[in-house]
Homo-oligomer: A and B are copies of this chain.
Amino acid sequence: MSNCIIAQSGGPSAVINATMAGIVKANQLSPLYEHVYGGLNGIEGILQERFVDLTNMSERENRLLQQTPSCALGSCRYKLKRDNEEDYQKMIAIMDKYQIETMFYIGGNDSMDTVAALSEYAVSHQIANHRFIGCPKTIDNDLVETDHCPGFGSAAKFIATTALQCWYDINAYPSSRTEVFILETMGRDAGWLAASACLSGKVDILIVPEEPFDKERFLNRVRNIISLRSKCFVAVSEGARYIDGSYLSSGVARSELFGHTVLGGAGKVLEQMILDAGIASRCKVQDLSIAQRCHATEQSYTDVTESFQLGMCAHMRSSDPSFTGKMVGLKRMPAEKYTVSCFAIDAEKVANFVRNFPSQWLLPDYGGISEEAIKYMLPLIQGIPEIIYDESGLPAYVKPYYLVR
């Protein structure tokens, strides 16, 4: 009996470990592999033969793993270059050495490219019995083909919840105090995360990379809303950009920090515009930074469950010797109640593409998102799994495998 290996790559998420837990569990239910290895720090660690054995993970550890944020195996940003044959040869040699037949790679865009490249190499060199399978994850929700990406639902839930809570906070002050609140989310190229703030029903203005930013149009909107109800709520993607393609935050020089103006990301730039224009007496920016991708105590139940099931699906499909160079994904079924099935697609059809937030889902004049967009996103944030806490009062997490145990 041969072995398999799991690795993780790219930016962490709140549910990326659930996919890994699903693979491990599937092999316990139906052992296709003698050993399920974990490769540490993605491709980078595999090339260094840094492995752990996950085969006999306890039920409790599996459960805790699903609620542990970030990459328990460690992440990397290493991308196999197609002209660097040495890495490919080494990879195959290491797989042979450990009798690894299947590699599961959990990641985003770049990881799917790695899956496609490795698979292509093996096939073109007629190396049999080596399968490379991708499992999607990205809070950005910007992978094509799959209905949505594991990780997005939990990030969207945290963002929408925080938006709702911040709205309650800023609105508690009397109307004599005019205030603009700006919530900045991740999303360099796609506006899915910023758009998810609109699920709170409290966002007045939404700025995403998909719609060019026009300063005057924006300030007019803010001015109108402030005069109407004294408080204005803005959600902005870090990747918001002007019509010439330059980022709002691109002019931000770190050396300015000790001057009188501090500009951080896009939110800080908007803040400065509003204060300069004298529209509101106060402006606050909340940049959700990395909390939005690692806040695993409020995972979407739907998200963590689907993430786990995608892992199981990938494992089960790998029993087919020809199943390589594929990514498993989620397909929304045409049913009245939300339901998904898993499917598989060539990883190269996913690699290096970006799925933007549909422009037809954006309301005019930075007015937020359409009913259709809400209908798409709402099912993804449903439910809260029961979180196990330890005696410290904090959530119980597995110790990362990349640490010496």
Which positions in A face B, CB cutoff 8 Å?
8, 12, 41, 44-45, 68-71, 74-77, 157, 160-162, 164-166, 168-174, 177, 181, 199-201, 251-252, 254, 256-260, 262, 264-265, 268-269, 272, 275, 281-282, 284-291, 293-298, 300, 378, 381-384, 387, 389, 392-395, 397, 400, 402
Contacts and interface: CB of A to CB of B under 8 A. Distances in A.
A289 B258 CA distance: 21
A402 B281 CA distance: 21
Given A165-B295, A392-B199, A400-B171, A265 B265 contact: no
Contact of A378 (B164, B258, B392): B392
Nearest to A156: B393
Contact of A294 (B169, B296, B378, B389): B169
B296 A165 contact: yes
A2 to B, nearest CB: 28
Which of A71, A174, A395 has the largest number of chain B CB atoms within 10 A?
A174
Contact of A172 (B12, B291, B383, B397): B12
Contacts of A269: 257-258
Contacts of A201: 392
Contacts of A289: 284-287
Nearest to A260: B251
Nearest to A78: B174
A296 B166 CA distance: 10
A178 to B, nearest CB: 10
Nearest to A382: B393
Contacts of A286: 287, 289-291
Contacts of A200: 394
Given A300-B393, A384-B387, 14 more contacts: A41-B173, A68-B168, A74-B174, A160-B393, A165-B295, A169-B290, A172-B402, A201-B392, A254-B275, A256-B282, A257-B282, A258-B272, A264-B268, A285-B289
B262 A161 contact: no
A382 B70 CA distance: 24
A26 to B, nearest CB: 24
Q: Tell me the number of copies of this protein.
A: 2
Contact of A76 (B44, B173, B290): B173
A285 B291 CA distance: 11
A399 to B, nearest CB: 10
A270 B124 CA distance: 52
A174 B78 CA distance: 10
Which of A172, A257, A383, A392 has the largest number of chain B CB atoms within 10 A?
A172
A174 B161 CA distance: 32
23 contacts: A68-B168, A74-B173, A76-B173, A157-B394, A164-B394, A166-B290, A169-B290, A169-B293, A170-B290, A181-B290, A251-B258, A251-B259, A252-B262, A256-B282, A257-B268, A257-B269, A257-B282, A258-B269, A286-B289, A288-B291, A298-B298, A382-B393, A384-B389
A260 B265 CA distance: 12
A98 B319 CA distance: 77
Nearest to A257: B272
Contacts of A164: 394-395, 397
Q: Would you list the 10 A-B pairs with minimal beta carbon distance, nearest first?
A: A70-B168, A169-B294, A286-B289, A165-B294, A71-B172, A381-B393, A75-B172, A382-B393, A252-B262, A257-B272
